[in-house]
Amino acid sequence: MASILRFRKLCYVEPVKFQSFQPQKIDKKEETVATEAKTALEKNEKRNKRQPKEWSCINSCCWVIGYLCTTWWLLLVLFNCLPATFPGFQVLESPGTRLKLEGLTALHPVVLVPGIVTGGLELWEGKPCAEGLFRKRLWGGSFTELLKRPLCLLEHLALHNETGLDPPGIRLRAVPGLVAADYFAPGYFVWAVLIENLAKIGYEGKNMHMAAYDWRLSFQNTEIRDQTLSRLKSQIELMYVTNGYMKVVVVPHSMGVIYFLHFLKWVETPPPMGGGGGPGWCAKHIKAIMNIGPVFLGVPKAVSNLFSAEAKDVASLRAMDPGVLDSEILRLQALEHVMRVTRTWDSIASLLPKGGETIWGNLDWSPEEGHACDLSKKRYSQASAGDKDTNDSDVKMGFHVKESKYGRIISFGKETLQLSSSQLPSVDTKEFLGTRTNKNTNSACGGEVWTEYDEMCRETIPKIAENKPYTARTVLDLLRFVAPKMMQRVESHLSYGIADNLDDPKYNRYKYWSNPLETKLPDAPDIEIYCSYGVGIPTERSYIYKLSPNDKCKSIPFRIDSSVDGDEDSCLRGGVYLTDGDETVPVISAGFMCAKGWRGRTRFNPSGIATHIREYRHKPPASLLEGRGLESGAHVDILGNFALIEDVLRVAAGATGAEIGGDRVYSDIFRMSDRVNLRL
């Protein structure tokens, strides 16, 4: 009994005095009990020491989450409590509200034509991995399915590699209505701000329409598979009749610009190839075409996308952490999967540069030479159509830079840019064609062929990169070599040249209709065409490449050399030459047709349709309350630009180009256009 009492006192009353206990006064049995008690006490102390550390970690996480949530809610409450007139936080009155007070009301029906990527796609038929997703968005929306099953999503987004249509057992279709492209993702607007402002002056479903289509397909395939062009024709005719025979104002954006250009030719062409509207259809139904962020002559970014599945942002990310995109954990290999999918989309190929070296320059010349790369120092001056000296003055006033080889869209190695054309080896992809045969296919790859590089003899890859620059003409030959299946399919639907004789019957085929240099505008002199785009943002123009250190058979053998930079005054940053534009489309592509190609009566514009250039100088948001910016000139964000929205509303309400101010030019587009030697 005495031993039990001592044990109780040891464990619960005075554990700290254990060492003062006199062992000589305890018998052997009691000594055993004491030893066991000491061992239990040590274990209890260790357990008590570990417990606070474990709970401390959990508590820290909870506190961090709590702080973040509390801060977010406090900012939200503060935002809603601030008065609208608080100094520095006053939000400008929306164009729709202001113009409504001026008496503007809806007059002409409006058709919105979205561009590439921004339109939603929903599932109508899929593979077992997409079970439960019927009529749910696989593209555009919350993108939760991308995180849950990315490979399944990519499988459904890809088209058939030979037909460019649906793969067996998969059907994705464009989401109909205004919700198709009002928001790309929750909180990320595309057309929503413009739609809201149109609604404020009286627009609604009966006089406003979103011409949604499957942006992955070639333009003629949207008609073959979905009859999208026929439905657009019927919708315009219906809106024309039901709105008092008022002509329609069409507002295309980005790739939607050349999609609608294709429609203009298709609608007047006799069936079965065209819509059978006759030569006067456009003149009867269309008042104005307000092209936003137009890609009339393509974008160099499409070249890098098809060649190596990357652009400047991707190259920068890879340079910071190459393991993210090049990892093979769980067969990730993100860029290879992206290339496998995007090479089935004819829409990407529709954005390849058009006009060849005449428009984009050759080995020794480009229309952008003399461009000032530091746009923060460039002094933009407003110029009219006839005031070309204003553009030249910017170059003469200390902003002239070293001659940049913009015409070399792809170069291997920085030293290639320093050499004159006479010192460079000639580019002839025909010398490679004999080596690209099935017998040279690397059989070690096995399994699924992700890219056409897997069917290519790896011995020919270094030959492509032997100090050879590629221009807008030869880069097409390069793509024909590295991706022959894709280019064979694409070139049955698209063309990239300049027509010598537009009256040649061959130009009545649909493959030429989306190229403004190989088709005529309709005979409709009363239509007005606007080229509206942002300027003042460094935009990708040409690339420095290198061979990829990863030589595995499923890898992409080329990548942008992001380690290459120019000097202080150079336009070369991170392996990419930059020029003026809207971050995606260079000025020469967005503005050339309105500045020169269609200006006045030309062979591309025989009826003399009036053209207007409306440039919007980029200005970053002044505060968080402006969101992505009320004066942004970025390619997508410009759809929330208040000045652009006001122009659209005024034209829709009946104003002409002259009444809204005619040309508004901040860039060097007239100087660039004058340097292009194109027969008009």
Tokens of residue 355, six digits: 């006009």
Q: Are 410 and 541 in contact (CB under 8 A)?
A: no
Distances (CA, A) of 594 to 54, 293, 521, 567: 68, 13, 12, 34
Which residue is catalytic, options 166, 214, 582, 668?
582
Task: Return d(Cα 409, Cα 38) in angstroms, integer.
Answer: 79
- DSSP code at position 498: -
Task: Return d(Cα 255, Cα 267) in angstroms, integer.
Answer: 18
Q: Within 564-633, where are the H helices?
A: 587-592
Q: Are 442 and 460 in contact (CB under 8 A)?
A: no
Which residue is catalytic, options 254, 366, 532, 589?
254
Q: Is the dihedral of CA 228, 231, 233, 239 positive or negative?
A: negative
What is the residue-wise DSSP string for 428-474?
-THHHHTT-SGGGS-TTS-S---SGGGGS-GGGHHHHTSS--B-TTH
Tokens of residue 152, six digits: 């399944």
Tokens of residue 610, six digits: 């009036």
Q: Are 551 and 532 in contact (CB under 8 A)?
A: no
254: annotated active-site residue? yes
- DSSP code at position 425: P
What is the residue-wise DSSP string for 246-275?
PPEEEEEBTHHHHHHHHHHHHHHSPTTTS-
Q: Are 453 and 556 in contact (CB under 8 A)?
A: yes
635: annotated active-site residue? yes
Neighbours of 587 (CB within 10 A): 28
CA 324-144-158 angle, to 5 degrees, is: 70
Distances (CA, A) of 361 to 282, 417, 548, 676: 34, 14, 27, 9
- Which has the closest alpha carbon to 37: 64, 3, 63, 66? 3
Residue 400's Cα: distance from chain center in Å?
Answer: 30
Task: Give me the amino acid identity at 680.
Answer: L
Which residue is catalytic, options 635, 647, 667, 668?
635
Residues 6 or more apart whose Cβ sits within 8 Å of residue 109 = 207, 208, 209, 236, 239, 240, 243, 246, 248, 249
What stretch of H or E contains 318?
helix 312-320
350: annotated active-site residue? no
Neighbours of 404 (CB within 10 A): 24
Tokens of residue 55, six digits: 């709970």
Q: Are 589 and 296 in contact (CB under 8 A)?
A: yes
What stretch of H or E contains 35?
helix 28-81
Residues 6 or more apart whose Cβ sits within 8 Å of residue 627 = 621, 640
Residue 152's Cα: distance from chain center in Å?
Answer: 22
- Tell me the β-bridge partners of 410: 470, 543
Q: Are 275 and 227 in contact (CB under 8 A)?
A: no
Neighbours of 170 (CB within 10 A): 18
Residues 6 or more apart whose Cβ sits within 8 Å of residue 485 = 161, 162, 452
Task: Return d(Cα 253, Cα 139) in angstroms, integer.
Answer: 19
Q: Return the biggest CA–CA distance within the chain.
A: 121
List, by residue number, the catalytic residues. Answer: 254, 582, 635
